[in-house]
Amino acid sequence: YAREEFAVDADALRPYFELDRVLTEGVFAAATALYGLTFAERPELARHLYRPGIRVFEVTGEDGAGVGLFVADLFARPTKSGGAWMHTVRDMADALGERPVVFTTMNVPAPAAGRPALLTLDEATTLFHEFGHALHGLLARGEYASLTGTNVPRDVVEFPSQVNEVWLREPSLLAAYARHVESGEPLPAGTLERLEAADLWGEGHRTVEYLGAALVDWAWHSLTEETVDAATADPAAFERRVLTEAGIDPDLVPPRYGTGYFKHIFGGGYAAGYYSYVWAEVLDADAVEWFREHGGMTRENGRRFADELLSRGDTRDLLESYRAFRGRDAELEPLLRRRGLADAAA
C-alpha cells in the first residue's frame, strides 16, 4: 500500500544506504556532533575476535581521553542468532578503573566479494537505534557497573536508543551519508516527506492495538487471589471485558498480542511491563521536541543530554534525571503529534 499510495519503494532506496557510509558519516558523525566523540578503527584488535568481518573502534572524547571500545558485528552468519541487539562485555565502573566495551550486533546480509553492503531503510534505522544503546554504555559514568549504562529499569532502557533513531532523518546528516552508492547523488527530492507520510498511515490502529495489549498485560498481573480463578476460567472472556471496559472494540482492533500467545508477558520478562515501549516513546518524543526547540543536533544539546541522562544510568531516579534535562515532566502531546493523532485527541 505504501508503495502505491506514497510512491515509496523500500527496495529502491537500498543504493542510498551503503553500510560503511551510514556507519561513519551518519551514526558516528551524529555522535561527534552531539557528544564530541571520535572513532578510530583498530583492525589489529579485530584480528583477535571470534569471526572475520567484525570491526573494532577506539572511542575518544573531545578532551582526548579514552572513552571505551565499540565493536560492530553487523553481518549475518549461519550460526548467529537472528535480530539486532546491543550488549556489553565490560560495563563502565570508575571504582575499578574500567572503561566500557560495547557491541552492536545485527544480521545484515553479507555482500558478494568486492561489493558494498546496502541497507534497507529499516536496517539503517536499526543501526542508529542499536548505537543509541551503545552510546548509553559508552557515555556512562559511575562507580559501579550495576548502576551504569543500560542497567536501568526496563521502561526507560529504550528511551536513549529511540532518541538516537531521530538523527537518521536529520536533513544535514542525511544529505551527507544517504547518497547513491554509484552516482553519489542524494536521495531524490521529496523522499523523506513521502516516507514520513507512509509512516503515519495506519498509526491510529497500531496505537490502539498496542495499548490494548498493554491493558491486557496489566489486567492479568493485577489479579488477586479472589479474582484469579474467574479470569483463568475463561481467558478470552476476561480479555474481551478488559478491552471493552477501556473503550476498545476487540472485533475492530484486536490487541497486538492475545492472551494465548503473549510471550512477552508470560515468558519474555515483560510481565506488567509491556507498556514500557510506549512510555519510552513518550520520553523520546518529548525529548526530541526539546532538541528541536533548542537548535537540534548541537554539541551543547548533546552535552546536556549526556550529562543529565546518558551518563547517569541508574545512579539517580530516572524521572529526576529527565526533569533535570527537560526542566519538567514528560508530556504526552509530542507523541500524539509525532503519530499524527493530536487532532483526534483534542
HSE (side-chain half, CA atoms, 13 Å) at 49: 18
Contacts of 54 (CB under 8 A, 6+ apart): 46, 71, 72, 73
CA distance 148 to 306: 13
Told to judge if 130 belongs to the known catalytic residues of this protein, a careful annotator would answer: yes
The C-alpha cell that represents 184 in the structure block: 553519489
Alpha-carbon span 207 to 202, nearest angstrom? 9
Residue 61 to residue 42: CA distance in whole angstroms: 16
Is the four-CA dihedral 110, 112, 116, 118 of positive or negative sign? Answer: negative
274: Cβ contacts below 8 Å, ≥ 6 apart: 213, 214, 217, 262, 264, 265
Question: Which amino acid, residue 197?
Answer: A
The DSSP element (H or E) to which 157 belongs, if any, is helix 154-157
Instruction: Spell out the residues 6+ positions from residue 57 whose beta carbon is closer than 8 angstroms to its own.
Output: 39, 40, 41, 42, 69, 70, 71, 72
- Which of the residues 123, 130, 158, 239 is marked catalytic? 130
In whole angstroms, give the CA distance from residue 275 to residue 210.
Answer: 8
- Report the interhelical angle of 28-35 vs 121-138 (nearest 10°): 40
Locate 134 and state its grid cell: 551503545
Strand order in the sheet with 85-90: 38-41, 55-60, 66-75, 101-108, 85-90
Residue 41, beta-bridge partner list: 57
Active site (catalytic) residues: 130
